[in-house]
Structure 1
Amino acid sequence: MSIQVFGLPVSRGVAIGRAVLVASSRIDVAHYFIDAARVDAEIERLRMARDEVAAELSLLQRDLPSDAPAELSALLDVHLMLLHDEVLANATKHWVRERHYNAEWAVSAQLEVLARQFDEMEDDYLRERKADMEQVTERLLRALARGDGGSVSHPAAPRDFGGEDPLVLVASDIAPADMLQFRRSVFTGFVTDVGGKTSHTAIVARSMDIPAVVGAREASRLIRQDDWVVIDGDSGVVIVDPSPIVLEEYRFRQRQSELERARLDRLRHTPAVTLDGEAVDMLANIELPSDAAAAVDAGAVGVGLFRTEFLFMNRAPGDLPGEDEQYEAYREAVLGMKGLPVTIRTVDIGADKPIERMSVSELRHEHVLNPALGLRAIRWSLAEPAMFRQQLRAILRASAHGKVRMLIPMVAHLSEIRQTFESIARAKQQLTEAGKPFVDVEVGAMIEVPAAALMLKRFLHYFDFVSIGTNDLIQYTLAIDRADEHVSHLYDPWHPAVLRLVADSVAQANAMGKHVSVCGEMAGDVAFTELMLAMGLRSLSMHPAQIASVKQRVLRADTRRLAASLETVLNADDPMAAAQTAFRRADGAPPSTALGAATLQ
């Protein structure tokens, strides 16, 4: 029977495929595809883990005190029986052999299947055995974690191990470390139970240019492994087991979308110049050095944001990248851009992008109640001075290979600025003493805290340029956790306060002759292109997949006419409606009016 699940549309388009479920667990489970050559080794890991758990359970049973309740021994017998059940063992091996899941993923996938079967049993006693299965499974996962070969550093090259059928990913949530693995893999779409329009999962889905729906609440419970699923990334609807008529309608929409992308692709290397002759820099946001090739291919004239935190994520404790490893990564990105400028942001760890070891925060708190307001971004870097100087030296060394700019995230205090420049000076001195070449680089600030926007005139005496990070600026201005679907309806890029902060920041930077750009999600959303141009922005940084559609809006725009309507939009109670009316008059064509266009593109 076909069912519909509703969530938040975060990445446009239609995806059709079989569901791959990433089950939730009280234990962190690595999810990645393995190469065919590793299948037997992964199955051997399963066997060894099962033998280890069996030995543990047998030892527990043997050492039971004489006065222990008989039920306890019987319970251990049940766990041993479940552990040695051939149906469970063979089914788990199936996920490894047929889908090429790693061992941990195979165990959690089979737990998901069995948990549903237990839930559907009519007998109360049998239904309650689900808890036993979960306990045995978690013992297996712990044993796998203790064994060798379980690192997520062995993902396979992108291939479709699901056979001819496309795959879509369904999960309660997807950790950033897993997203780093999945971003280059076989999935044609994502569905998650939780998350907001600018949560990490949503941003990565948009960066992969694939349809996604987040905040779908019960999706991972209602959808089963291998169900046929349609993800409507335009309206936020997920259709499970669609009828043939519905399926054909969505396949038609897929074909139309592919034709539109092919048409936009012809604009890749067309200069982005408005009708009145204003050149606009179309820059790319990248997360890994290898993304530089996609940026060049998409027609980007530089990298406006290199998110270096992805080099730090998905690493074992004590294995964070050192200076040389970072230098090689930054050098690869600089060379990959073939002489075009690269803006490298210092690490923005914290909030929804944690790493395995944060020594300062571990000393102060084991749990952070609100990481978005805690030790993150420049605060974390300044609290880890040795690690910060390592990154600064690596960035400076990369500058010897091309045009590099340095971007500092989440600055809010003059004291932070002074400490940052002291650290940069110290890093330069260390490189000079070591005889390592570098050139002086421009240093810019991310404007993503209201305090920074309000203090911008003073900040600009220190910085060479600024980049407005709209995702966090909206979050902090409106006091909205952008990853929380419970308040996602209040996350509003069109809020007058947000627009005023952006417009004033652009005006102040332009007045002082300092370069200003926007690198948040608003830059890649065609609904905001005319507004950004009206504000005086001439530099937009976005994922490479978004460049062509935004460039099309730029080519059709007349900035002088748009600027004349700016104050009308900024002073309106409903800026979105005012923009659609005012900019229609200015250019003869309205901004995108697609459902929820504010953050979907």
Structure 2
Amino acid sequence: MSFQVFGIPVSRGVAIGRAVLVASSRIDVAHYFVPQAQVEQEVRRMLHARDAAVSQLESLKDDITDDAPHELGALVDVHLLLLKDEDFSAAVAQWIRERHYNAEWALSAQLEVLARQFDEMEDDYLRERKADVEQVVGRVLSVLAGEVSAADAVAQRDFAGEDPLLLVAADISPADLIQFKRSVFCGFITDIGGKTSHTAIVARSMDIPAVVGTREASRLILQDDWVIVDGDAGAVIVNPSPIVLEEYRFRQRQSELERARLARLRFTPAVTLDGQKVELHANIEQPSDAAAAIDAGAVGVGLFRSEFLFMNRQGDLPSEDEQFEAYKAAVEGMKGLPVTIRTVDVGADKPLDRLSAAELRHEHVLNPAMGLRAIRWCLSEPTMFRQQLRAIYRASAFGKVKLLIPMVAHLNEVRATLEMTRRVKQQLLDAGIGHTDVQIGVMVEIPAAVVVLPLLLKHVDFISIGTNDLIQYTLAIDRADEAVAHLYDPWHPAVLQLLFQSIDLARRAGKDVSVCGEMAGDPAFTDLLVGMGLRSFSMHPTQIPAVKQRLLRADTQRLEPLVQEILKSEDPKEAADRLLGGYMQIAH
């Protein structure tokens, strides 16, 4: 039966494929594909963990005293029966052999299948036995958590000749998305999330259609269902009819032709009609992303999100040398073009596996978006922060590097960072380790930073405006919460005023200013931003061609007075549609 689910479109385009369900938040496990050569080893790993769990329960049963409640022994027996059920183990092994899931993913996938079967049972007692299955799977997962996986990282799996795959989940962490980025999915769907949640941002960097905030998709869609993801309309069509399928396949072909046309602009300089040069930089998460930035025609990296080097590490933070090699690879990959490295920005929707500050964990803090995150965490962990700064300065010997401090609200945070960089440079000098001067900038993400920007500009070389958090903190909207996603408004008068003030203050102070948030990569805001005086954008590499096309058609002399009218309007979005829409018709 065909049906539709609607959510929030976060990455444009159409994807068609078979659904691959990732375990819900019931159990949090790592998800990755196992190479064909390691499949049987992964099956043995799962069986070994099962046998270890059996031994644990048998030892527990032997320790039960005679005066213990009879129900306790009976419960252990039930769990032992479940663990020793060969059908259950065979089903888990099938996920590994046929889907190449790692053992943890296979266990949780089978749990999802059984959980649905229990939920459909009419008998209350049998329905409640779902909890026993969850506990048994949890015990095996606990055993696996203490082992090293058969695969060190996400495997590149060869799906030549097989159906394309779509990822369906209650939610996907940014860290998991980074792993899936090197994998095989052509689109994804989640139950929760907002348009500018970090998960959505990484999805756009993968350049695959995505819909989030569907609420029920992971419970309604079954494994292997044929699914269409309409990333433009925010629609998910499950088991489409042949007519609908053919219509969307036509749209796919049209989208591919449009991308090919835009790709021809990649090495065309971004210069407006009236001769204003605009720099288009790329946002990246991994050193390997530098190649995509070069291919897209980026003139540098405006934002290297270093926190992704810290994720999916089972609690171990990267060493100074490991970070240095990563930053060096990114710098060399950009072939002499500048690379702006943001110091680690964790917390909120990007928690680490292990944090010394428990406040960063969602379960221990009421509002992680306003807790110990970004520069606040870095300054609370000086040893870690010094290691990162040394690694960044060491990488500066191999190309042009800039340092970006996230979530600055206080001048003291800038002063503390500058003092730490001074000490780091002296340490490197004393040790005879090569490095160069590095420009230091701050991210403007908090309204307070805009208010004190004249003070901050006296101490830094440049600013970068992170519009995602700036909108979130200005409007008091959790950008990852689909329940309030409709209130997240980049066109809000307060947001636009803060944007214009930041750009204007930086230009008057003779300091470089860039926008690196999602507004920078959205062509709907290109005319507005360039009309505000912005001459440096940073976005995902895949967004550069469309923004460049808009810039090539822009006339800043005509845009600037229109933007002033928009800023004075009670309804900036309506004013922009009217004024900029008319401008575009005249321009063409």
User: TM > 0.5 between the two?
Assistant: yes
Q: Are residues 1:444 and 2:456 paired?
A: no
- 2: CA distance, partners of 1:313 / 1:590: 47
User: In the TM superposition, what is the alpha-carbon distance from 1:38 to its structure 2 partner?
Assistant: 1.0
Q: Offset at 1:417?
A: 1.3
SS in 2 for 1:75: helix
Distance 2:270 2:296 in 1: 13
1:576-587 matches, cutoff 5 A: 576-587=573-584
Give the percent of matched residue pairs that are identical in Structure 1 and Structure 2.
69
Equivalent pair of 1:558/1:587 in contact (CA under 8 Å): no
Pick closer, same or farther for the CA change 1:462–1:213 going to 2, 3 Å: same
Look up the match of 2:154.
155
* Alpha-carbon distance, 1:590 to partner: 9.4
Equivalent residue, structure 2, for 1:131: 131
For 1:297, the equivalent position in structure 2 comes to 295
Unaligned ranges ≥5, structure 2: none
Residue 276 of structure 2 is aligned with which of 263, 275, 278? 278
Distance 1:269 1:108, change over 3 A: same
Cα distance in 2, alignment partners of residues 130 and 376 from structure 1:
38
Q: 2:394 aligns with which of 394, 397, 401?
A: 397
Give the secondary structure class of the aligned counterpart of 2:524: helix
SS at match of 1:190: strand
Mapped pair 1:489 → 2:480: no
Tell me the equivalent position of 1:176.
Answer: 174
Question: Is contact 1:584–1:590 with CA below 8 Å preserved after alignment?
Answer: no
1:294-345 per-position Cα deviation (integer Å, ceiling 9, x unaligned): 100110011111111111111122x211211111111111110011111111
Q: Which moved more, 1:302-311 or 1:141-150?
A: 141-150
Q: Alpha-carbon deviation of 1:97? A: 0.7
Q: What secondary structure sits across from 1:359 in the alignment?
A: coil
Structural mapping, 1:135-534, within 5 Å: 135-149=135-149, 153-160=152-159, 164-317=162-315, 319-361=316-358, 367-534=364-531
| TM-score normalised according to structure 2 size | 0.97
Indicate the larger mover: 520-529 or 89-98: 89-98
Larger CA deviation: 376-385 vs 523-532: 376-385
- Can you list the C-alpha shifts for 1:398-430, whole angstroms capped at 9, x where unaligned? 111111111111111111111111011011111
| CA distance in 2: counterparts of 1:99 and 1:12, whole angstroms | 27
Contact 1:191-1:212 within 8 A present in 2 as well = yes
| CA apart distance, 1:589 | 6.4
Instruction: Report the CA distance shift for 1:95/1:365 in structure 2 as closer, same or farther (over 3 A).
Output: closer
Secondary structure of the residue aligned to 1:587 is helix
Q: Is the 8 A contact 1:399 1:438 kept in 2?
A: yes
Q: Specify the SS of the correspondent of 2:134.
A: helix
Q: Structure 1's 510 and 158: CA in aligned 2 closer, same or farther, altered over 3 A?
A: farther
Unaligned runs of 5+ in 1: 592-601
Tell me how far apart the structure 1 counterparts of residues 568 and 247 of structure 2 sit (CA, whole Å): 42
TM-score (norm 1): 0.95
Q: Which one is further off, 204-213 or 62-71?
A: 62-71
Q: Which residue of 2 aligns with 1:86?
A: 86
Q: Secondary structure at the match of 1:550?
A: helix
SS in structure 2 of the partner of residue 188 of structure 1? strand
Q: Which amino acid in 2 is paired with 1:547?
A: I
Aligned residue number for residue 537 of structure 1: 534
The one-letter amino acid paired with 1:14 is: V
CA distance in 2, matches of 1:360, 1:422: 23
Question: Is the CA contact (8 Å cut-off) linking 2:192 and 2:213 kept in structure 1?
Answer: yes
The letter of the residue matching 2:583 is A
- Secondary structure at the aligned position of 2:537 is classed as strand
Question: In structure 1, what is the equivalent of residue 571 of structure 2?
Answer: 574
Cα separation, 1, equivalents of 2:117 and 2:199: 29
Deviation at 1:57, TM superposition (A): 2.2
Deviations 1:262-313 (A, max 9, x none): 1111111111111111111010001111110110011001111111111111
Offset at 1:228? 1.0
Cα distance, 1:63 vs structure 2:
3.0
Partner AA of 1:220 in structure 2: S
- Contact preservation (8 Å) 1:10, 1:233: yes
- Distance (whole Å) between structure 2 residues aligned to residue 466 and residue 363 of structure 1: 26
Q: CA deviation at 1:365?
A: 11
Name the SS for the 2:283 alignment partner.
strand
* Aligned partner of residue 318 in structure 2, secondary structure: coil
Contact 2:464–2:515 under 8 Å retained in 1: yes
2:313 partner letter: R
User: Shift in Å at residue 89 of structure 1?
Assistant: 1.4
Deviation at 1:65, TM superposition (A): 2.6
CA contact (8 A) 2:562 2:579 kept: yes
Aligned to 1:117: 117
2:51 is the counterpart of 1:51: yes
Q: 2: CA distance between counterparts of 1:363 and 1:100?
A: 33
How far apart, CA to CA, are the structure 2 residues paired with 1:378 and 1:66? 57
2: CA distance, partners of 1:430 / 1:362: 32
Q: 1:31-85 deviations in whole A, cap 9, x for unaligned?
A: 0011111111110111111111112222233333324444443333322222222
Counterpart-to-counterpart distance in 1, 2:146 and 2:22: 21
- TM-superposed CA distance for 1:363, in Å, is 11
What secondary structure sits across from 2:352 in the alignment? coil
Matches within 5 A, 1:12-51: 12-51=12-51
Q: 1:365 to 1:101 in 2, by over 3 A?
A: closer
Amino acid at match of 1:425: R
Distance in structure 1 (CA, Å) of the matches to 2:466 and 2:135: 44
- Contact 1:287 1:306 survives alignment (8 Å): yes
Residue in 2 that maps onto 1:598: none
Aligned to 1:195, what secondary structure does the other structure show?
A: coil
Indicate whether 1:76 and 2:76 are aligned.
yes
Structure 2 CA distance, aligned partners of 1:68 and 1:437?
68
Tell me the residue number matched to 2:104. Answer: 104
Q: Does the 8 Å CA contact 1:27/1:141 hold for their aligned counterparts? A: no
Q: Secondary structure, in 3 states, of the residue corresponding to 1:18? A: strand
Contact 2:347 2:361 in 1 (8 A): no
In 1, distance between residues paired with 2:152 and 2:576? 47
Whole-angstrom distance in 1 between the partners of 2:217 and 2:581: 39
* 1:553-583 Cα distance to aligned partner (Å, 9 max, x none): 0011111101110111111122112112111
Is contact 2:359–2:371 with CA below 8 Å preserved after alignment? no
Gap change, CA 1:265 and 1:165, over 3 Å in 2: same
What is the CA-CA distance between 1:360 and the residue it aligns to?
3.9
SS of alignment partner, residue 364 of structure 2: coil
CA contact (8 A) 1:191 1:219 kept: yes
TM superposition shift of 1:147: 2.9
SS in 2 for 1:565: helix
Please give the secondary structure, in 1, of the residue aligned with 2:483.
coil
Deviations 1:98-129 (CA, angstroms, capped at 9, x unpaired): 11100000000111111112222334443332
User: Cα 1:366–1:386, aligned 2, differ >3 Å: closer, same or farther?
Assistant: farther
Q: In the alignment, which residue of structure 1 is the partner of 2:10?
A: 10
